[in-house]
């Protein structure tokens, strides 16, 4: 049943695998910039944003470049935390990267205006727990966006998307194989995503198709005013 705990569903992104992934995805600047612009369009001036599972940090860096935002990243991989911090340093942007579990985040409640997760949600071992933590991290009326692969994405569309990434011949072959034989198997259907949202603390959501993927937009309900009865009780 969606939302129950399960083993980690992705590759162990440590050491040489993390380094290979960082190099292989660095050329997808078009995708990172488009996603960063979509996030920035929903951020208040000077807002705070948390990226869950930032990997090498490319999206977080693009967001930081777009405005005066306080950007933070949280990843389960020690290698990615190190790589992302170094990439941010080279890019000349201030981003704090931490190691931690998406279902047990080391931040105080209501710490962020916005939470974003790209291409990682399908790998979480406790997706509902991760949604609940995103809800806890958000300020009242704060928003979250989850971008990931659609289960019903066609193989032709996936091949076309990979071809646009500007990868070498060998990396195109490897990436297409990964999409076909690994990522599609772990991707969620629309129905599964809806069930997870219903099982979480979020009440307001919109699920949008985005190329071969989806964007799940979530909003934390605003704080309810305290009634006179509650104040005097």
46, 68 in Cβ contact below 8 A?
yes
What pLDDT is recorded for position 210?
79
| Whole-structure pTM value | 0.85
What pLDDT is recorded for position 7?
47
pLDDT 10s digits, 149-200 = 999 987 887 778 777 777 787 877 887 777 776 778 899 999 999 999 999 9
Q: Which fold has domain 15-151+188-221?
A: Rossmann fold (3.40.50)
Residues 44-72, mean pLDDT to the nearest whole number: 96
What pLDDT is recorded for position 11?
56
């Amino acid at each position: 049943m969606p939302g129950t705990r399960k083993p980690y569903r992705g590759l162990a992104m440590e050491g040489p695998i993390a380094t290979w992934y960082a190099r292989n995805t660095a050329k997808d600047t078009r995708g990172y910039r488009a996603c960063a612009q979509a996030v920035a369009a929903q951020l208040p001036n000077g807002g705070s944003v948390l990226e869950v599972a930032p990997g090498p940090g490319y999206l977080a860096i693009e967001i930081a470049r777009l405005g005066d935002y306080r950007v933070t990243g949280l990843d389960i991989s020690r290698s990615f935390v190190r790589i992302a911090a170094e990439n941010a340093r080279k890019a000349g942007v201030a981003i704090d990267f931490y190691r931690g579990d998406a279902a047990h985040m080391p931040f105080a409640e209501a710490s962020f205006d916005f939470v974003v997760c790209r291409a990682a949600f399908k790998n979480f071992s406790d997706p509902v727990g991760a949604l609940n933590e995103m809800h806890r991290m958000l300020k009242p009326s704060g928003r979250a966006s989850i971008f990931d692969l659609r289960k019903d994405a066609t193989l032709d569309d996936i091949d076309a998307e990979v071809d646009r990434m500007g990868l070498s011949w060998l990396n195109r072959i490897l990436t297409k194989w990964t999409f076909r034989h690994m990522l599609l198997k772990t991707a969620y259907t629309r129905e599964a995503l809806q069930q997870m949202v219903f099982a979480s603390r979020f009440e307001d959501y919109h699920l949008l198709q985005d190329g071969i993927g989806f964007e799940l937009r979530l909003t934390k309900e605003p704080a309810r005013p305290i009634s006179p009865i509650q104040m005097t009780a």
